[in-house]
Amino acid sequence: MPTLLAKPEPLEIDFHKSAIVVVDMQNAFASPRGMLDLAGLDISSAPQVIHAIRTVLHAARAAQIPIVYLQMGYKPDLSNSGGPNSPNSRKELAMCLMHARPELKGKVLTEGTWDFAIVDELAPQPNDLVVIKTRYSGFAGTTLDSQLRMRGIKFLLFAGIATNVCVESTLRDAFFLDYWPILLADGTMPAGDAKQQAATLFNVESFFGWTMHSTELLKNLKLQPA
């Protein structure tokens, strides 16, 4: 098995038991006029993140490594949002926006809308696994864990938006479920500024997994037989 130059220390990884997890690379989070943009958050680094992820996915597919897409979204009637008794309705950004601006109901993070769709540059392919979620973590209330175990996956390489919210939430749950989580630092973008990105990198490297640059992954993928 190859040993990748990760932080805080090198990590031996079995690519035959690995998957790339693409978290919420939707128009809502990565495109102008999407939810993050409407909320006034900086999305200027989204094009670079999209490019980094696209390069990784191309190499991963060539190496026959599974791709898993997580996609956040609610039904138009918000029946899967948790309702008024759930803290999700008070803290999740789409819910907060819809409460503050009722004209956005059914337009942000709503299944079937442009905002909900994965960005065109990273559109899933037929063999990719797509898991729809209604909470920050991709493991909360979904079949993600069973789908991964059915495929014999142990190592999860994370990319997506937002680093400090849905990516970190899912990565933490992966750690608790005994997966080996690796965060692709240049394939992620925070909801916030560089301080939030740095905080998640610190948390992952110190307590929950490993981080690396996508070029380290790409270098090793090219050495693997298809």
Catalytic residue list contains 77: no
Q: 7, 107, 115, 166: which one is catalytic?
A: 166
Q: For residue 55, give both structure tokens.
A: 């390069």
**Which residues pair with residue 210 across a beta bridge?**
182
Q: 7, 107, 115, 133: which one is catalytic?
A: 133
Measured CA to CA, the distance from residue 210 to residue 202 in angstroms comes to 10
Report in angstroms the alpha-carbon separations of 83 from 75, 143, 175, 208.
12, 22, 29, 31
Catalytic residue list contains 173: no
Catalytic residue list contains 96: no
Q: For residue 189, give both structure tokens.
A: 């973008």
Q: Which residue carries 């696209």 as its tokens?
A: 54
Q: 24, 115, 173, 186: which one is catalytic?
A: 24
Q: Is the peptide bond before 162 cis (omega within 30 degrees of 0)?
A: yes
The pairing of strands 129-133 and 67-72 is: parallel
**CB crowding 142-164: b at 16 or more within 10 Å, else e:** bebeeebeeeebebbbbbbbbbb
Which residues are tagged catalytic? 24, 133, 166
